[in-house]
Amino acid sequence: MLELRKYGWIVGLSLMLGCYLSACKDVSNQIGNDKKVQNDEEIRAYLAANNITAQSTKEGLYYKVVSKGASGQKAVVGDEIKVSYIARRLDGVLVDSSQLRLNIPSRAIYSISRLPYLSDEAMALVFGTPLLAEGDSATLLVPSHLVQRPAGIDGNLLFPAYTPLRVDLKVVSINTEAEQIDAFIREQGIFISETTESGLRFGKTVSKPDSVLLKTGDKASVKYTGRLLNNTIFDSGTITETIGSSSSVKGFAEGIAKMRVGEKANLIFPSSLGYGAPGRPEAGIPGLSALYFEVEVLSKTQ
């Protein structure tokens, strides 16, 4: 009995708290539903007032394709999407634009990251349905439940909560992972001499043809620096690599197996030879990330 008295008030409090949270959730859902209706009315009124003819999805996203690009290339999982955009409230107030960000197109990896102001659901509607392809320009009227607020502007006076947006955007490019790698090599001036059947880009920057050739089972001390294709370093150091083993990611192991002691090389490989769709978020490597390594075989070890 003593134990029941001791904890009885906790049971009662838990029941009261559960009822309170359930009621709060119901209220929140009702507010959300009300705002969806309100947003839809605001968007339809805006379209009528501005004589804009637009189509709508069942999720409440309105869109008008202004012009079509020549390529017609559509995004698939892992593709890089670059867009220029202007985001405004329906009263015309400018919220943000790629011009305000030094005229640099915004970038997202489809199914991994988002473009500004588009939620995951909105990204799927715009590029997965798909409404837009490479080169297309469009006007989107985005209800608040499909808006993803960038960090730092949540709930501010410029962009209050439950505000629908007009987003005018142009799909500057859609690039496959291979195209992303090729562009990175070209823009950074990285020396690559061959592409293997697996997709590894390889280039020796220091060659030692008379040095010790590494064979399967040999252990080598390897100095490395690993980068993403935005040049962010995610790791560096020295490791012991066993040639022909599966202890390292495939692209790294394949590259080291092509080297001799004392040689340096560039290794760039697709996510299929790296950490794949999951990536390694704890190490700063997003899913579907191609990787760039600068490596040096320091010595053969016992």
- Which pLDDT does position 33 carry in this prediction? 83
Question: What's the fold here for domain 34-175?
Answer: Chitinase A; domain 3 (3.10.50)
Q: What pairing do the DSSP bridges indicate for beta strands 62-67 and 55-56? A: antiparallel
From residue 159, alpha-carbon distances to 50, 113, 140, 174, 216 in Å are: 21, 22, 17, 29, 60
Reported confidence tier of residue 198, pLDDT bands at 50, 70, 90 = very high
Residue 7's pLDDT is what?
40
Whether the predicted pLDDT of 136 surpasses 80: yes
Whole-structure pTM value = 0.81
Asked if residue 210 has pLDDT above 70, the reply is yes
**Quick check: 17 pLDDT over 80?**
no
- What pLDDT band is residue 137 in, cutting at 50, 70 and 90? very high
- Under the banding of pLDDT at 50, 70 and 90, the label for residue 158 is confident
Distance of CA 146 to the CA centre of its chain: 18
Nearest to 180 by CA among 99, 288, 294, 275: 288
Q: Where are the chain's structural domains?
A: 34-175, 178-301
Residue 143: pLDDT above 60?
Answer: yes
Helix/strand/coil for 37: helix
pLDDT band of residue 213 (cuts 50, 70, 90) is: confident
Look at residue 98 in the predicted model and tell me its pLDDT: 87
- Quote the pLDDT of residue 177: 96
| CA 45-171-80 angle, 5° bins | 130
Q: By C-alpha distance, which of 265, 263, 292, 288 is closest to 277?
A: 288
In the structure, what pLDDT confidence band is assigned to residue 3 with cuts at 50, 70 and 90? very low
Burial class from Cβ neighbours inside 10 Å (0-12, 13-18, 19+) for residue 168 reads middle
| 247 — pLDDT class (breaks 50, 70, 90) | confident
Q: How far apart are CA 95 and CA 300, in angstroms?
A: 58
Is pLDDT above 70 for 1?
no
How confident is the prediction for the chain on average, in pLDDT? 89
For range 229-254, the mean pLDDT = 93
pLDDT surpassing 60 at residue 85: yes
Q: 178-301: which CATH architecture?
A: Roll (3.10)
CB 226 within 8 A of CB 232: no
Which pLDDT score, from 0 to 100, does residue 65 have? 96
pLDDT of 20 over the 90 cut: no
pLDDT above 60: residue 14: no
List the beta bridge partners of residue 264.
206, 296
Within this chain, domains 34-175 and 178-301 share the same CATH topology: yes
Asked if residue 266 lies in contact with residue 297, where contact means CB atoms within 8 angstroms, the answer is: no
What's the average model confidence in pLDDT over 79-96? 95
Least confidently predicted of 79-93, 153-167, 174-188, 215-229: 153-167
Percent of the chain with pLDDT over 90: 77
pLDDT of residue 101: 63
Q: What is the pLDDT of residue 9?
A: 43
